[in-house]
Structure 1
Amino acid sequence: MHNPHIDTPSVRQLSLDFSEGFIVSEPRSAPRLITRTIVFPKHIMIPKFGRFQRQVNVLFAPLGISVEFRLTRQKRLEMKWIFPPELQAGPVPSPEFEPLTTMPSGPELSQEELDAFESVVFSMAGAH
């Protein structure tokens, strides 16, 4: 039975017109960070590790490169460089036209640069 003295709630509808006054930007994916990892040989021991870690971070900070250290399951020291997204600037290859194996993996160092860096890191580790 319906009682005419009781107010029934009316159904209201909200509509939005997105064509006026709204700016909808295209979703952008966050830039992928490039990382490089070095696992130190087992025989490398760094007695004053905290100091070594601070020196490495100070060395790379002006370049915007973050350096993280961790101990692997095999008890080997791993050093991971995290490069800033700005180093990845340039044309982005289209994945549908290039196979993944030919796509660039980020900033590349020459063998001479890698050898020089390895020498600096190992000499810093040996100096502590």
Structure 2
Amino acid sequence: MDANIEPRQYLVIQDHTSEYPEPITFEKGAPLTVGEKYEGPEDWDNWFFCETPGQKGGWVPAQIIETLKDKTARASQSYTAKELNVRQGDLLVGSKILNGWVWCNRSGRSESGWVPLACLQESGQ
């Protein structure tokens, strides 16, 4: 799933607020129960609703779901579905793009999380 990019600065052009206050988070090797595939009007391909013991379910990119011979699955790497709440005009630094989302850090702060690519515009500042 190496979708790392050279860090890029983004300007938020549309507000985004997470609908998942308790994001699924797990370490490499965690057992996963894979459910429905995300179907929606957004350009968010290859996301599956997964569960892992002791947490609420959440959306996980297909690239880190390893299906085993016995039809069970596990995480091929550590992951968090934490989303970053952003407002129009915020400046962010993105370091990874995956399935229509960008992993961003808020400029000047240690806050980070996923933001939909459609809410961002690359900034030359």
- Give TM-score scaled by structure 2 length: 0.24
Which one has a larger percent strand, Structure 1 or Structure 2?
A: 2
Larger radius of gyration: 1
- Give TM-score scaled by structure 1 length: 0.23
Answer 1 or 2: higher relative contact order, Cα 8 Å, separation at least 6: 2
